Amino acid sequence: MGGFFSLELLGAFIGVLFIDLILSGDNAVVIALAVRNLQGNVRRRAIQLGVAAAIGLRIIFALVVSYLVQLPLLQVLGGLLLVYISWQLVMPEEEEADVKAGSGLWQSVRIIAVADAVMSLDNVIALVAISRNPEGDPRVWLVALGIALTIPIIIFGATILSDLMSRFPVFVYAGAALLVYVAVELMFADKLGVVQSVAEATEGYHRITAFAAAAIFTAIALFVNRRRGMNAA
């Protein structure tokens, strides 16, 4: 029992929740837009079914990604994708959500499920990477639990979450830095022969390298955003 409820597992679980909350901010917007033409019980039913479908699709994605990430070179590619996701997180583009409103229950459910699937693939890659155990194997059950817990929070607390992230950008920067840290560790764990040779030659320095990468990334992001703010003023 003590081995199951470990500090490492608790840290991974908190990381999954934290990243899922930050990366899934647009999901509530998608749901609200998809059901905006519905009323009363039909709207509530569409939200419930749409969320259930979204959770199911994410868990399927997690199973697929967990298998693919074990193949040579894909952990390096996944790590690079995580760095890109981190940059997008701290450099949000100004754009309006283009989500069609459903005219009925099942059309709205389909819109929610499809839109969430398109938007959440990068989220799932990040969650699978963070959920890995000390041996480097993804824990899909941990990803599934995190998704199941955070989606209802996102739906009912979207306004509060969005206000918190706007008022305290440190949460967004912390999430991006965590993703960069995980990205570097993920790349070191790749099964490709060349990468394994580098990983073995630098054994003991992986965490230092990951921390340094996260710190450098955060410093660059802060500098670029500050320059953007000065130019806008």
pLDDT in tens, 58-71: 888 888 888 877 78
Q: Which pLDDT score is estimated for 209? A: 94
Q: Would you state the structure tokens that stand for residue 198, as one six-digit string?
A: 């580098």
**Position 227 pLDDT exceeds 90:** no
The identity of residue 53, as a single letter, is: A
Q: Give the integer Cα–Cα distance in Å for 209 and 185.
A: 9
**Position with higher pLDDT, 65 vs 98:** 65
The whole-chain average pLDDT of the chain stands at 79
pTM comes to 0.75
Q: Which two tokens stand for residue 147?
A: 């998704």
CA dihedral 75, 21, 135, 79 (to 10 degrees): 20
The arithmetic mean of pLDDT across residues 15-37, rounded, is 73
Over range 122-150, report the average pLDDT: 81
Distances (CA, A) of 67 to 37, 62, 137, 200: 40, 9, 10, 23
pLDDT at residue 220 is higher than 90: yes
Q: At what angle do helices 140-167 and 40-68 cross, to 10 degrees?
A: 120
CA–CA gap between residue 35 and residue 155 (Å, rounded): 13
Q: Which residues of 7-38 are buried (b: 16+ CB within 10 A; e: fewer)?
A: eebeebbebbbbbbbbbbbbbbbbbbbbbeeb
Give the pLDDT band (50/70/90) at residue 2.
Answer: very low
